[in-house]
Amino acid sequence: MALIWQLNLLFSPLIIICLLSNVVSSRTRPFTAPTVTPLTNSFPRVPIDPAFSNAFGASNVKLLANGTMATLALDKLSGSGLVSKSSYYYGFFSAAIKLPAGISSGVVVAFYLSNADKFPHNHDEIDIELLGHDKRNDWVIQTNVYANGSVSTGREEKFYFWFDPTKQYHYYSILWNSYHTVFLVDNIPVREFIHGTVFPSKPMSVYATIWDGSEWATHGGKYPVDYKYAPFVVSFSEMQLTGCTSDPLACSKSTPSSGVDPVNGPQFTKLSPQQLAALDWARKKLMFYSYCTDKNRYKVMPPECH
């Protein structure tokens, strides 16, 4: 906004209108995504019931289609969420999600892994957070990694979509093994967090939630949830929970042929040339925030940023 005011002093109103028009049109992101081999075809789908139990807001959770689908709602009384009955050490985790349409600023839909309940002071977390972040019916995706740390150790990156995530289901996926953590949207890698000395390293549960994130999801609370549009309903389907549920030491020492760790084969430990090209496309076209460029927050950049 400060930039626009500066431009207003320098240029004619006509030019300002053109600039604003370009900004708005660019937010629709009319891009054609690259073609990639879909990882979601490599793993089985599981029913939500009995793989998950209610985490909170049980009255706002509805199971559909014989337990293969679920809707979660946010209203004035509560958000809602599901948590996996098993915890996992490495794996592939994915859900087809259809986001609420209409005015949804401040609404947060999350699909993530966490062990904060067991390790409150040094937890691990791998997040896909879908943020209704302003009053223009606009959703963005935030990815985040907590590695053996507190809430001050997050590694956030934010992206625009190249489609309308409210019109139909889209795949949101996490690949996590001893080599890297990869975030994918419709099988397009949007972020690869390569593991160094510190990375998510303890078994985690899988969560699917919707909640009120007004204080931080909308430009510092600028556009809080407007409950006259409630309930806000998100749909989850085609869940995939393929992970190592045995002893973490056994998982870390497993080989592709052992069958213990399902994501330890060569097709999972390194991105293919096709995936790398798609990753580069997503980061150049869609990413609008990275902690690695946030010098106000990090006076000394985290080592992986170098």
Whether residue 157 lies in the annotated active site: no
Residue whose C-alpha is closest to residue 75's, from 193, 227, 187: 227
Please tell me the chain's helix, strand, coil percentages from 3-state DSSP, rounded to the nearest 5. 25, 35, 40
Of 125, 192, 215, 304, which is the active-site residue? 125
Joined together, the tokens standing for residue 280 give 């580069």
| Greatest pairwise CA separation for the chain in angstroms | 68
Helices (H), 41-132: 48-51
The DSSP H or E segment spanning 280 is helix 273-285
Please report the beta strands in the chain, taking only residues with DSSP state E, as ranges in sequence order: 52-56, 61-64, 69-74, 80-88, 91-98, 107-114, 123-132, 139-149, 157-160, 170-176, 180-185, 188-194, 204-212, 232-243, 287-290
- Residue labelled with tokens 């330890």: 264
* Beta sheet of 123-132, edge-to-edge order: 52-56, 80-88, 204-212, 107-114, 123-132, 139-149, 157-160, 287-290
Measure Cα distances from 272 to 32, 42, 53, 267, 278 in Å: 20, 15, 36, 7, 10
Residue whose C-alpha is closest to residue 124's, from 84, 176, 52: 176
Residue whose C-alpha is closest to residue 97's, from 117, 122, 72: 72
Alpha-carbon distance 96 to 79, whole Å?
20
DSSP one-letter code for 306: -
Whether residue 215 lies in the annotated active site: no
Please report the beta strands in 43-138, taking only residues with DSSP state E, as ranges in sequence order: 52-56, 61-64, 69-74, 80-88, 91-98, 107-114, 123-132
Of 129, 156, 157, 304, which is the active-site residue? 129
Residues with a known catalytic role: 125, 129
